[in-house]
Amino acid sequence: MEKEINESIQGQSLILDERQGNTKKMFIESYGCQMNFSDSEIVASILANEGYNTTQNLEEADLVLVNTCSIRDKAEQTVRKRLEQYNAVKKINPTMKVGVLGCMAERLKEKFLDEEKIVDMVVGPDAYKDIPNLLKEVEDGRDAINVILSKEETYGDIAPVRLNSNGVNAFVSITRGCDNMCTFCVVPFTRGRERSREPQSILSEIQDLWDKGYKEVTLLGQNVDSYLWYGGGLKKDFVKATEMQKATAVDFAQLLDMCATQFPKMRFRFSTSNPQDMHIEVIETMAKHHNICKYIHLPVQSGSTRILEAMNRQHTREEYMALVDKIYEIIPEISLSQDMIAGFPTETEEDHQDTLSLMEHAKYDFGFMFAYSERPGTLAARKMEDDVPEEVKKRRLNEIIALQQKLGWERTRRFLGQEVEVLIEKESKRSDAHWSGRNSQNTVVVFPKENYKPGDFVMVKVTDCTSATLIGEAVGYAERMQS
């Protein structure tokens, strides 16, 4: 299942087809959210034009790049450990250069070059097009850094190379940055102001994916519902747009409608939705199109209005619950998932109980749950004491996880006896005689292979399930395969 932090792919290194004539080798590794993995595909595309092929063998690399995550302290520690390992390799291969990309590069800036002696290059998320210049400086023996955040950069003009792809699912980024300023979150500082990518460049990337045989696209952004194209520029400057720009602007519901209409046989997902920006039009657009998956990742972080306010989430517990009710009313078969933070500063037992009761109300299919980690520079770090003891955070987190497991189990069981449409993605991890894919609601489905193949849409009769996986048998191709 896809989620913003997919533990099974953390640190995965990327390979792409060798380009003839390229003589240098780069090793590129990514941590954190899907956006980082997507950005690494852009970086690989830029470097392919600079003479680099990818390698999975660290020892033979001329250039090692690590695309980093700052969201929690643990994410940064993982990268620091990895840098120590690169250091050991650098002793065997002293000409190897090391570059740090992504959110940690942006957060730590020059400090990286001072603290981590092995780092030669530091590049923030909006400066990847400058990598060829930075590499020249590195080759001349100087440390190189570019952490300038941009108001325009969307990399809309760069065709990302698809790395380690199954040829079925792809991610297409539609916005960069975030303007929401949740008080716990480092993203607005590391990824800058929010800007949207031109609809035409999104549609042509999807066309290209369709031509290459891809069957499912996930539209990516820190906050997709806030997507707004009015000819370029920052979301926050929309108030200054001309009447003409305002009249021809494209919002997320319209973009989704354009995608679903133009590519009726492609399946669409999107991530992430911020409840404060999720509008009824988006839900109605989802209901209208069979090819928009019936799944919304709708992070809430806490079920207590007081904590939500301290987090600057811009909605109350009641408003969130009303939104959830509305979604279930318009799309009864929808599945929802959450992100939750346990132990935000000042959180009491009562606040925690509010979180648990909100979860019962929302009946989430899935959840991604974390203990609060104070991030330097955020408003919470500056203004609030991290006062919930570690063991209390852990206990609350465990209670949240246990409840989510129970809810997830109940939700998975609802498909028993039903026929569900599955897009086959790959072989099941547990058995080479079974395919694995997902239904519209994002639940993993496994079934015997027969003569089907990855990329096929198949109707599967569900006969059994575990807590998060449906087990069944194919009963034929789905309707969309037939016309």
Token duo for residue 223: 């906050």
Token duo for residue 375: 């991030």
Smallest gap, in angstroms, from Cβ of residue 356 to ligand SAH? 16
Q: Is 185 marked as binding a ligand? A: yes
Closest CA to 168 of 480, 414, 453, 417: 453
Query: Would you give the binding string for ligand SAH spanning residues 312-341, x where CB under 6 A is met?
Result: ---------------------------x-x
Residue from 118, 185, 217, 323 binding ligand F3S (CB under 6 A): 185
Nearest 5°: the CA angle 445, 449, 450 is 135
Is residue 187 involved in binding ligand F3S (CB under 6 A)? Answer: yes
From ligand SAH, ligand F3S, none, which one binds at residue 188 (CB under 5 to 8 Å depending on kind)?
ligand F3S
| Residues whose CB is less than 8 angstroms from the CB of residue 74 and which lie 6 or more positions away in sequence, other chains included | 373
Token duo for residue 344: 């935000």
| Interacting span for ligand SAH (CB under 6 A) from 112-120, 136-144, 145-153, 365-373 | 365-373
Which residues in the 436-465 window bind ligand SAH by CB under 6 A? none
DSSP state of 68: E
Smallest gap, in angstroms, from Cβ of residue 390 to ligand SAH? 13
Q: How far apart are CA 421 and CA 446, in angstroms?
A: 12
Is residue 375 involved in binding ligand SAH (CB under 6 A)? Answer: yes
Residue from 370, 415, 435, 447 binding ligand SAH (CB under 6 A): 370
Q: Is 182 marked as binding a ligand? A: yes
Token duo for residue 424: 């086959």
CB 89 within 8 A of CB 59: yes
DSSP state of 44: H
Query: Length of the chain in residues, anyone?
Result: 483
For ligand F3S, the closer CB: 267 or 375: 375
| Interacting span for ligand SAH (CB under 6 A) from 56-64, 90-98, 182-190, 345-353 | 182-190
CA distances from 67 to 70, 125, 350, 387, 450 (A): 10, 9, 39, 31, 40
Which residues in the 257-286 window bind ligand F3S by CB under 6 A? 274
Closest CA to 176 of 224, 215, 237: 224
From ligand F3S, ligand SAH, none, which one binds at residue 96 (CB under 5 to 8 Å depending on kind)?
none
Q: Is 69 marked as binding a ligand? A: yes
Q: Is 293 marked as binding a ligand? A: no
From ligand SAH, ligand F3S, none, which one binds at residue 375 (CB under 5 to 8 Å depending on kind)?
ligand SAH
Q: How far apart are CA 482 and CA 437, in angstroms?
A: 19
Q: Is the dihedral of CA 283, 239, 185, 121 positive or negative?
A: positive
Q: How many residues interact with ligand SAH (rule CB under 6 A)?
A: 17
From ligand SAH, ligand F3S, none, which one binds at residue 145 (CB under 5 to 8 Å depending on kind)?
none
> What is the maximal distance between C-alpha atoms in the chain?
66
Which residues in the 218-247 window bind ligand F3S by CB under 6 A? 222-223
Smallest gap, in angstroms, from Cβ of residue 384 to ligand SAH? 12
CB 180 within 8 A of CB 276: yes
Which residues in the 248-307 window bind ligand SAH by CB under 6 A? 272, 299, 301
Token duo for residue 275: 């409840």
Smallest gap, in angstroms, from Cβ of residue 38 to ligand SAH? 12
Distance of CA 266 to the CA centre of its chain: 20
The residue whose two tokens read 């929401």 is: 180
Residue from 127, 144, 187, 478 binding ligand SAH (CB under 6 A): 187
Is residue 448 involved in binding ligand F3S (CB under 6 A)? Answer: no
Which residues in the 188-207 window bind ligand F3S by CB under 6 A? 188
Is residue 178 involved in binding ligand F3S (CB under 6 A)? Answer: yes
Q: How many CA atoms lie within 13 A of 183 on its CB side?
A: 18
| Interacting span for ligand SAH (CB under 6 A) from 90-98, 242-250, 317-325, 370-378 | 370-378
CB 176 within 8 A of CB 154: yes
Which residues in the 36-75 window bind ligand SAH by CB under 6 A? 71-72
For ligand SAH, the closer CB: 156 or 299: 299
Q: How far apart are CA 334 and CA 196, in angstroms?
A: 27
Token duo for residue 25: 């080798």
What are the DSSP calls for 350-368, one per residue? HHHHHHHHHHHHHT-SEEE
Residue from 27, 37, 184, 263 binding ligand SAH (CB under 6 A): 184
3-state secondary structure of 309: helix
Smallest gap, in angstroms, from Cβ of residue 182 to ligand F3S? 3
Q: How far apart are CA 253 and CA 236, in angstroms?
A: 19
Smallest gap, in angstroms, from Cβ of residue 58 to ligand SAH? 29
Q: Is 465 marked as binding a ligand? A: no
Residue numbers belonging to the annotated binding site: 33, 69, 103, 178, 182, 185
Q: Which residues bind ligand F3S (CB under 6 A)?
A: 178, 180-182, 185, 187-188, 222-223, 274
Residue numbers belonging to the annotated binding site for [4Fe-4S] cluster: 33, 69, 103, 178, 182, 185
Q: Which residues bind ligand SAH (CB under 6 A)?
A: 4, 71-72, 184-185, 187, 222-223, 272, 299, 301, 339, 341, 370, 372-373, 375
